[in-house]
A and B are shown apart, each in its own frame.
Chain A
Amino acid sequence: MSTGAEMDRRSFIELLGGGILVIVSLGPDALLGQERRRGYPTDVNAYLRIGEDGRVTVFSGKIEMGQGVMTSLAQMLAEDLGVPLESIDMVMGDTDRCPWDMGTFGSLTTRMFGPALRTAGAEARAVLLQLASEQLGLPTDRLVAANGIVSVKDDPSHKITYGQLAKGQAITRTLDRKAVLRSVSEFTVIGQSPQRLDARDKVTGAAKYAGDVRLPGLLHARLLRPPAHGAKLVKADTAAAAVRPGVVVVNEPDLVAVLHADPEAAAAALERVKAEWTPAPPGADQEGIFDELLAKAPAPEVKDTRGILDGGPAPGARRFEHTYQKGYVAHSPIEPHAAVATFEKGKLTVWASTQTPFPLHDRLAPMLGLDPKNVRVITPYVGGGFGGKSAGRQAEEAARLAKVTGRPVQVAFTRAEEFFYDTFDPASVVKIVSAVDETGRITLWDYDVYFAGDRAAELFYDVPNARRRVFGGWMGDGSSPHRFAVGPWRAPGANMNVWARESQIDVMAAAARIDPLEFRLRNTRDERMRRCLQEAARTFGWTAATGPSGRGWGVACGVDSGSYAALMAEVKVDRPRGTVKVERVVCAQDMGVVVNPAGATMQIEGCITMGLGYVLSEEVLFRGGQLVTENYDRYELPRFSWLPRAIETVLVKNDEIAPQGGGEPAIVPMGGVVSNAVFDATGARLFRLPMTPARLKAALDGKT
């Protein structure tokens, strides 16, 4: 074994034992952002092993958090390796067994990892055919490999299994890009919708999440938390807690915790801790934050300039200027962050609900003064992430407490902690000045976005005069106006950018007295978007009308993660109550080759249902650094009664393009499609999300 940070290739391979091993490398282009890899051969991104029992094991640093990649990755491998899906075992997110991975986010798994895995499968199949050729004494062109068996073409009874071929072998192949992939017309596994590999575990309760790990002597920790972000601990008196039987107390300057074998007893002991805090500095609430955003915005990054912006619109053109605001939105997975940590013989093992096991591993080692090889992070099933399970605070706390107490320790956030330490989708502002000429062509697009970044903001409408300026991203930074953590939230920044853009497009269409679908088609030559819009219209049964038509129909579209999505919706507005019921949503999505149509459809349905929340209700309430939102009573997620009576999905066929992202694109136009439908129903347009009943009533009153 090497002793340095880098494990060399040979020792890495020795770890894997016999059989046939194919190492997957994505190549330098796909590795942007992966430069922090440590502890593994620098050119390995995943590997697969064909064992002597014929089972195929894939080792990947990606994780399964509900998006279904455990199944879709296995499908992609099964296709090109020629094995039944059931013979594949997926080992995911285990830092001892899987090669370094930057994390599971950005709809990258299928796009970036899938093609490499397919190539590895094809390479392994070539190796197996070669071995079979030697053992059967026949040339490879007389053999066929499928279903885990190599057989003779004109004599199928003459055969040998992959497992038999792997027996006694220690063959290692590094992925060869020349390996021939099966073509779309040959697919038998890709494009199918098999039962998910995680299905049985998840309906029987057998699926283990980080908080379900049970170890002898396990202590449940409850930590002292500040009353507000910005408050500093002056003193913690833990004496009253320590007298309770079975309670273990940790009282360090930045780590005050009470631990007990029973989580409830730990919680009760925490209530006996007397703490003194400095007052948190005052700050804006959810209403005042928008002025702060504008006041504290950094200098802009100019992304796009073309044509003439100054001098006003051409004669006959109409000019529109609007400001769009959206509050903080929580990830709020139903599984709060949890971790279990234990030290055994100087080695730390942490089970964590995380989207980024390897970056977590890389932080834990120096934090605890451990050699990186003495730290292992294991990622069980993750109960929803949406970008929110990248921070890893709970795992760091569990590891530190395990070290201090010498016992296995679980840190599982309460719902209040989950809100308090969430990395929210930031409050943000978009200002747009646009113009449309007498023929219904957009002539000006001057776009400023504050604290939402640039994602999905690139214009696919044909506009001769345009500028796009980005005043701060969604990650926040040192000068950020945010009092609490912000970070990636399912399609970070894109929900804001597309809501603002698609609202502004509708404003212009209505003013120009042009049907909003026709207006979009008139202003874009992007063929992928035109097809999505037309397919959505066909399924929806769209007929042209200028808004507001009273029908409550809306359209919006966007590009994200390489996929195109056009949404149409029908809403009913209860004017006295100010509530919106989305009755029907159609989504037409072009995501290239579709690996698993049922899985893709589930993701689209999930996007649409989850998207109702940030549009209609979800907004974190706060006063300065103090969160008023602490549980679901003050933060309403979409419920069964909100579900549109119909959600229809059209997967627009496009086999010319490799599989693109599917977990995010369809949520991106949700703000626009609902806003535009509400305008079509009522003539009222909201420039603030979420569209709470109070805000909608105010907008309706302004109209009447």
Chain B
Amino acid sequence: MKRPVRFRVNGRPVTLDTEADRTLLWALRGDLELTGTKYGCGAGICGACTVVVGGKAVRSCQASLKDVEGKDVVTVEGLARDGTLHPLQQAFVDHGAFQCGYCTPGMLMNAYALLAESPRPSPEAIAVGMEDNLCRCGAHKRILAAIAAASKEGARP
């Protein structure tokens, strides 16, 4: 049954008149045309669809609109401010921490939540925190280096 579902995406209030049990991933990609968030496996295994909800990394293919009602959702499109890349994004660019780029939004959002929780993680903690995000191109080494570099600069909330 349709009803208004309210939440905030990248700081902006959003109201969707829709079924609240719909999956967040498809609402983001479809209704809101925020296609930076990717489908990878549909089972919460690969992490390509990761967004940040209330400061926590969430697999948007496993979350419903009901789960985010009244909450703050941040997607990859919300990281840069006024054309300036977020330190994490800049570190990914500087370290070449991507190849095909398809897993990159999920990697960035998972790392964003990781640094929000623990601003100065050890290299081991970064690797553990990123363990459940999959990359097929093999950019792992550079992703870890980029996150470590961004953490040194201090993560912006």
Contact = CB atoms under 8 A, between A and B. Distances in A.
A354 to B, nearest CB: 13
Given A68-B99, A383-B101, A608 B46 contact: no
B38 A204 contact: no
A212 B135 CA distance: 19
A653 interface: no
Contacts of B108: 203
Nearest to A382: B100
Contacts of B96: 196, 199, 598-599, 602
A600 to B, nearest CB: 11
A334 B48 contact: yes
B100 A640 contact: no
Interface string A66-89: 111000000000000000000000
Interface stretch (A140-148, A446-454, A630-638): A630-638
A606 B98 CA distance: 10
Contacts of B144: 640, 643
A202 B134 CA distance: 16
B7 interface: no
Contacts of B132: 639
Instruction: Specify the main secondary structure of chain B where it touches its partner.
Output: loop
Identify the interface centre among A67, A211, A602: most chain B CB within 10 Å of its CB.
A602
Interface in B69-94: 75-77, 79-80, 85, 89, 92-93
Contact of B138 (A65, A209, A605): A605
A606 B93 CA distance: 17
A640 B137 contact: no
B45 A632 contact: yes
A185 interface: no
Contact of B137 (A206, A209, A606, A632): A606
A205 B10 CA distance: 13
Interface residues of A, number: 58
Interface string A633-662: 100011111010001000000000000000
Contact of B140 (A209, A599, A643): A643
A212 B102 CA distance: 11
B101 A386 contact: no
A415 interface: yes
Interface string B115-138: 000000000000110111111111
A606 B26 contact: no
Contact of B100 (A208, A333, A605): A333
A214 B33 contact: yes
Contact of A205 (B37, B131, B133, B142): B37
A631 B41 CA distance: 7
Nearest to B86: A203
B98 A334 contact: no
A640 B140 contact: yes
Interface in A555-610: 598-599, 602, 605-610
Nearest to A385: B100
B99 A204 contact: no
Q: Which has the most chain B C-beta neighbours within 10 Å: A68, A206, A384? A: A384
B45 A198 contact: no
A631 B108 CA distance: 23
A334 B138 contact: no
Nearest to A333: B136
B72 to A, nearest CB: 17
A415 B93 contact: no
A193 to B, nearest CB: 8
Contacts of B41: 415, 631-632
Nearest to A609: B138
Interface string B21-39: 0110010011001111111
A92 B87 CA distance: 30
A200 interface: yes
B134 A66 contact: no
B136 A204 contact: no
Given A334-B103, A381-B101, A631-B45, A641 B131 contact: yes
A205 B79 CA distance: 10
A67 B75 CA distance: 26
B42 interface: yes
Contacts of B93: 195-196, 199-200, 203
Contacts of A263: 26, 30
* Residue from A204, A332, A633 with most neighbouring chain B CB atoms (10 Å): A204
B136 A386 contact: yes
Interface in A346-390: 381-386
B128 A606 contact: no
A458 interface: no
Nearest to A384: B100
Contacts of B45: 631-633
A44 B85 CA distance: 40
A201 interface: yes
A355 to B, nearest CB: 12
B36 A606 contact: no
Contact of B99 (A209, A606, A631): A606
A610 B77 contact: no
B137 A66 contact: yes
Given A205-B105, A605-B138, A609-B141, A631 B43 contact: yes
B104 interface: yes
A384 B136 CA distance: 7
A602 B101 contact: no
Given A333-B102, A643-B141, 16 more contacts: A66-B100, A66-B101, A199-B93, A200-B93, A204-B85, A211-B35, A212-B35, A214-B33, A334-B103, A335-B38, A383-B100, A384-B99, A606-B99, A631-B42, A639-B132, A643-B144
Interface of B: 22-23, 26, 29-30, 33-43, 45-46, 48, 75-77, 79-80, 85, 89, 92-93, 96, 98-105, 108, 127-128, 130-144
- Closest CB pairs A-B (n = 4): A205-B36, A66-B100, A383-B102, A609-B138
17 contacts: A196-B93, A202-B101, A203-B92, A204-B85, A205-B75, A205-B105, A263-B26, A333-B136, A384-B102, A415-B40, A415-B41, A415-B43, A602-B142, A609-B141, A631-B41, A640-B144, A641-B131
